[in-house]
Amino acid sequence: MISTVEAFRGQQLARRLLNGYLQRRRVAGTFLLLGQRGLGKTTLGTILARALCCEQNRDAPRLWFCGKCYACRTIAAGDQPEYTVVRPRSKQITITMIEKEFGGFASASLHPTLLSHRIFAIQDAHYLNEQSANQLLKLFEEPPAQTVFILDTDQPELMLPTILSRGQKIVLTPLPFDELTATVHADQPDADEPACVEAARMAAGRYVDAMRLAGAADWRAAVKKLADVLGHGERYQAPAEELAQFELEALWHKELHDTGLDAEEAEKMIARAKTDEEKGLRTRLNELTRQALITAYNRAAWWHLQEAALPPGFLKALTELKARINQNVDPGLAQAAFEIALAKEFKPAAS
Ligand SMILES: [Zn+2]
């Protein structure tokens, strides 16, 4: 978890809005953080949680936290019973899951005793199923005092409109290319300028991705390779798998960091897959593999879009492919669906 507010880059508008709500003490019962994957919704959510609860941030509250008080330390350590984070492991957040793992929504109505606010964060909130979304709505009707919900999603169109219409919407946007290039250059002194420029292009406005790409020439080469074969309708399976592997490594690294699991331990758990937790971790790895595959194609397409003229039907094909891959949880099946759809759209290059 980020240790200072200053370490969070960009998103001036989102910061200004949150700062304003905190300064005016107009803290809504619900905040909705919206924006694409990789823009820092989760990180901003953890900043907001600490800014709300920080003991040094009470007299003149703003988007800031000290990082040292009891609230800041326990939230950052993931060791605070009044700070609940719901992270979907599969494509549904069910009532049973919330009751079994997070004490149920009822816990959200309890008055906080350790912190100034009770925080209930729900990541990828579009995975709330109908039943759990409805139960959440009931809470919104009579919002418990001192409880703040922080929901984030990159797919608001999949959420119940009644949930979307509640709360303060904070939209995160991709960083402009020039700003991203300059930031990466400043924060990644080991990377030379061409590497920073290339990374900023490939990252499509995402700071964390740009930082990783700037430091990984082999990853950038994989993006170019896939973009090249996509643009020519050639054989894309091997380059797609290669690029997805880089993307998966980044996602998995973040997952281990967020869950506090050791890499070796996680591997053993996935291999065993006996208990609910072990099975859950395997499901999560499948989900991340699917995401990595989508990101690989997306990133390559984005690069292609900036570097070359698009063949007719390219974007339409890509949109359809994304929808297909989104419906499949099993990465093998998803890859197969991708292959079939692409093969229909592009005539293979003559060999
Ligand atoms: Zn503090």
190 Cα: distance to centroid of ligand 1 (angstroms): 33
260 Cα: distance to centroid of ligand 1 (angstroms): 22
39 Cα: distance to centroid of ligand 1 (angstroms): 24
Tens digits of per-residue pLDDT, 331-350?
Answer: 566 566 556 655 555 544 43
211 Cα: distance to centroid of ligand 1 (angstroms): 28
Q: Which residues make Cβ contacts (< 8 Å) with residue 18, sequence separation at least 6?
A: 31, 44, 48, 51, 63, 170
188: tokens are 């990644």
111 Cα: distance to centroid of ligand 1 (angstroms): 20
Q: What is the mean pLDDT of residues 28-39?
A: 88
pLDDT at 71 over 70: yes
Tens digits of per-residue pLDDT, 243-253?
Answer: 999 999 999 98
Tens digits of per-residue pLDDT, 150-184?
Answer: 999 988 888 888 898 888 999 999 898 999 999 99
pLDDT, residue 332, reads 61
64 Cα: distance to centroid of ligand 1 (angstroms): 9
80 Cα: distance to centroid of ligand 1 (angstroms): 13
pLDDT at 90 over 80: no
pLDDT at 328 over 80: no
113 Cα: distance to centroid of ligand 1 (angstroms): 16
Tokens 């880089």 belong to 246
pLDDT at 315 over 50: yes
Contact between 90 and 26 under an 8 Å Cβ cutoff? The reply is no
Regarding the domain delimited by 12-171, which CATH topology (the fold level of the hierarchy) does it fall under? Answer: Rossmann fold (3.40.50)
Instruction: Give all strands of the β-sheet with 83-86 in edge-to-edge order.
Output: 83-86, 118-122, 147-153, 30-34, 168-171
112 Cα: distance to centroid of ligand 1 (angstroms): 17
Rounded Cα distance, 168 and 316, in Å = 33
157 Cα: distance to centroid of ligand 1 (angstroms): 35
pLDDT, residue 348, reads 41
Rounded Cα distance, 139 and 134, in Å = 9
Name the more confident of 305 and 43: 43
Contact between 293 and 310 under an 8 Å Cβ cutoff? The reply is no
Rounded Cα distance, 305 and 227, in Å = 9
Tens digits of per-residue pLDDT, 184-238?
Answer: 999 998 999 999 999 999 998 899 899 999 999 999 999 999 988 887 767 777 8
pTM of the full predicted structure? 0.81
Mean per-residue pLDDT over the chain, rounded: 86
pLDDT at 261 over 70: yes
Q: What is the mean pLDDT of residues 80-90?
A: 88
- Residue 348 burial by Cβ neighbours in a 10 Å radius (0-12, 13-18, 19+): exposed
Contacts 24+ apart (CB under 8 A), 157-160: 158/126, 159/125, 159/126, 159/128, 159/133, 160/128, 160/130, 160/133, 160/134
284 Cα: distance to centroid of ligand 1 (angstroms): 32
Q: If you average pLDDT over each of 95-104, 180-189, 291-300, 308-317, which comes out highest?
A: 180-189
pLDDT, residue 349, reads 40
Contact between 52 and 22 under an 8 Å Cβ cutoff? The reply is yes
pLDDT, residue 340, reads 60
17 Cα: distance to centroid of ligand 1 (angstroms): 21
Domain boundaries, the chain: 12-171, 216-345
pLDDT, residue 341, reads 56
